[in-house]
Structure 1
């Protein structure tokens, strides 16, 4: 039975042919947000037949041509031994053989994208394939049978283990029961297993027919994937604003939850968008902001670099409080809860450093750590949370589940080249005056013309008019500052 305190709603907003947004909210508060731009190819989860383009002995990795613009990256620990050619003597203490000894250029491999290409880096690939279903993840190459650690009820774990043991699986195939398997009947579990088994057989047959490089399996789109992966007993309503998507989702839900009538609802209001109707627009817009607000009035500030994401806590009213340490603890506890939520919403992956407000009492630090770890347990991504350092810093690592909303909707600023800063007007004026001074000193011309952007031109004429007049008198020349206009062709 669904706990009323965890009643959730799923919202699927579709701009046909362009964009899909998925919002999961609990009591009106957005807890998860996913977006997919349909013109940007998403490849995570896709399976390809590729071939080894070259092997880097130093990296112990192969670069795979699988049909993408850039070759994919395949490390030795992601290569199943079935691809090893010939004998491979292992060095003492080594976990894997040398890649150049067991693989060769031109060799065909079946690979799956585990991490999307980013920047100048190609996709990360694996030969250990996995196919997510409704109740199970079907793994190829790892023969383990198990139950997700997120399923904590021992009685339910035992029930699912017995169900897994009853399935006849092919050698090398494994099954992991997902949280969505909770409460599913034996017949429903068996249906999901048989579907995944047929899917794998189809992929294998397809791979044998095609010539590398070629795609042999494409992961579901965001709308269907969200319902498959995130629809649990806690979800009481699914709202969709596109008729075709509504029909597809309705069919899927009918199979997954045959007893749940009217779970999927069509939004037909022409005056308000789906997210406007449920007052979710402001929360979604905040995801794209550098800052996030906290209930107490404090703010979280997010700054991303190549190496890590830094999160600073601005405490709002804390400065006026008499008991600073008490308020520091209260603010940090609130921040820990909100940071865990924001990491999910923004899908921030990699290394994260949080600068908490200084707490002198070690007991307070342990309390904040406890809350942070408890909140991170709600995350679908794998996480590792450290303790707070003597400097008030906490480090954590979070698995990146996909391309974040910010990553797929932004590009580097042409002015600052992505640094977030630019030279101020005073500095730019100094450089302009140097150029004007140099030109004014040249003999044989009565007029010095300096052309620049409008903002700088106005600054020079308003703030450096005296300097320009002095240069005119010194060199006996007229100086004109002109605005450079851009015209659309």
Structure 2
């Protein structure tokens, strides 16, 4: 599989399109002025404790208070609180935790009011970005993600991604990390670490410890709310999370950004720095690589499938609803059940792609075409689960219900990517109003009078919608005949189906369009 990353730098925004074998797989759009991004770390102030919710509302500087539930405090909350307090007032002298005496974990089923109180300053991390009318969702268990691992302060545990299945490799990675990680820091080994040299892993760990040290120094004398550590920008984060041996090229339309990406690759994957290419074409980079066309196809309410079937995707306040329709798909001599299964399997694979591409989250209900054979329903369920296997967002796919509906949930950490694929009507320019049809005759006659009189032109051809062509040429005397009597010059009237109802053009005797 060939993977290309297309990066377009625009005013106030950088857009990244991830193409797998020239099919749009992911789309990321990052504002230059970044707000409350997932992974940002803040020193915040508890505004209000809500015992009924077992949660607190926290001021991180957003217009809406952020939400922190007891379960998101993390077992080592007491250590995090003491560290942040000591870093602010200067009693903690270093970011390293080798001399730190770990407190006991907070109870799993405890009460938040027993652990923190209003007006308390705490260290928190954005877990979900502000969505709609809701403020950010927080966690007090701060973690720092790298290319090969995730650093978890105040723990001594080493965990390994379940996707690394080779027992010999798992043992090697665990022994290596136990040997090199500092005391009282936990590590979660990511899938990307499989087969990597110890030198690569040590460099990644060193980078994460440097970021933790930056956080520590930013806490000194800080007053909440204050951001003390920012997550990587989306460009660097995408490179960190998805860059692999299958990457063939990274095309960037801005020279400075291309240089920055090359420098980033020199740090995280030196062998790949040569794949960065500065795009210098006159055509928009997304148009040149077919990204805009695929965006139009994938982000509308109706999404067509290659077989002729189509999806209808609608968003409500509570959930997303997707309807699968056979459309013009013909099953040939196939029986109805086999035809329905083929359409459903094709739709399931496309839906899995669209969920990632549009970053749809929450509850999603998919109304597939009815299948009556239990084995076919199992095939459909397995197809959808397999297609979503590479989705990094947490998800749960339920088997089809009695009515053929599959329900699933997908983690939502940032607002859904929404792109308006509609365009302004060329007739009314989006106003919903058009000129009175009776005035079009006066407009055309004024144009012909100008061309015949002032420009002294003859042999003109008027191209209009077929309805208007019929109106001008029918009857005796027709409007066309009246024009001849008026200017003593014949005007040929031609009906064009491609014209809008009230649109018209005039061509000269050579067939060239005359500007009006």
Into which bin does the TM-score normalised by the smaller protein fall? 0.7 to 0.9
CA contact (8 A) 1:309 1:351 kept: yes
Query: Per the alignment, in what secondary structure is the counterpart of residue 367 of structure 1?
Result: helix
Matched, 1:23 2:34: no
Displacement of 1:44 in angstroms is 1.7
Aligned to 1:304: 315
Unpaired runs of 5+ in structure 2? 83-104, 421-430, 437-516
The structure 2 residue matched to 1:294, chosen from 284, 302, 305, is 305
For 1:54 and 1:261, how far apart are their aligned partners in 2? 49
Aligned to 2:379: 367
Matched, 1:234 2:275: no
Displacement of 1:12 in angstroms is 1.3
Matched, 1:275 2:286: yes
CA contact (8 A) 2:307 2:329 kept: no
Query: Per the alignment, in what secondary structure is the counterpart of residue 317 of structure 1?
Result: coil
The structure 1 residue matched to 2:296, chosen from 274, 281, 285, is 285
Displacement of 1:149 in angstroms is 2.2
The structure 2 residue matched to 1:108, chosen from 93, 105, 121, is 121
The structure 2 residue matched to 1:165, chosen from 148, 172, 178, is 178
For 1:121 and 1:110, how far apart are their aligned partners in 2? 20
Query: Per the alignment, in what secondary structure is the counterpart of residue 129 of structure 1?
Result: coil
Aligned to 1:244: 256
Query: Per the alignment, in what secondary structure is the counterpart of residue 388 of structure 1?
Result: coil
Aligned residues: 402
Q: Deviations over 1:290-317 (max 9, x none)?
A: 1222111111111111111111101123
The structure 1 residue matched to 2:112, chosen from 85, 96, 99, is 99
For 1:35 and 1:58, how far apart are their aligned partners in 2? 37
Cα distance change, pair 259–454 in 1 and its aligned pair in 2 (3 A): closer
Displacement of 1:381 in angstroms is 1.0
Aligned to 1:61: 55
Where in structure 2 are the equivalents of 1:115-154 lying within 5 Å?
Answer: 115-154=128-167
Where in structure 2 are the equivalents of 1:50-449 lying within 5 Å?
Answer: 50-80=44-74, 81-83=76-78, 95-171=108-184, 173-260=185-272, 262-269=274-281, 271-318=282-329, 321=332, 323-406=335-418
CA contact (8 A) 1:347 1:401 kept: no
Displacement of 1:187 in angstroms is 0.3
Cα distance change, pair 57–212 in 1 and its aligned pair in 2 (3 A): same
Displacement of 1:456 in angstroms is 12
Displacement of 1:454 in angstroms is 8.2
Structure exhibiting the larger radius of gyration computed from Cα positions = 2
Matched, 1:14 2:9: yes
Aligned to 2:461: none
CA contact (8 A) 1:312 1:354 kept: yes
Aligned to 1:464: none
Displacement of 1:179 in angstroms is 2.5
CA contact (8 A) 1:128 1:142 kept: no
Aligned to 1:463: none
User: Considering only aligned residues, what root-mean-square deviation do their CA atoms show, in Å?
Assistant: 2.6
Displacement of 1:153 in angstroms is 4.1
Displacement of 1:152 in angstroms is 3.7
Cα distance change, pair 154–371 in 1 and its aligned pair in 2 (3 A): farther
Displacement of 1:101 in angstroms is 2.5
Cα distance change, pair 10–152 in 1 and its aligned pair in 2 (3 A): farther
Cα distance change, pair 58–280 in 1 and its aligned pair in 2 (3 A): same
TM-score normalised to structure 2 length: 0.73
Cα distance change, pair 250–347 in 1 and its aligned pair in 2 (3 A): same
Displacement of 1:25 in angstroms is 0.9
Displacement of 1:289 in angstroms is 1.0
Displacement of 1:188 in angstroms is 0.9
Cα distance change, pair 320–146 in 1 and its aligned pair in 2 (3 A): closer
Displacement of 1:169 in angstroms is 2.4
Aligned to 2:87: none
Cα distance change, pair 143–75 in 1 and its aligned pair in 2 (3 A): farther
Displacement of 1:282 in angstroms is 0.7
Q: Deviations over 1:72-106 (max 9, x none)?
A: 100011124544999xxx9xxx8322222232111
Displacement of 1:7 in angstroms is 1.9
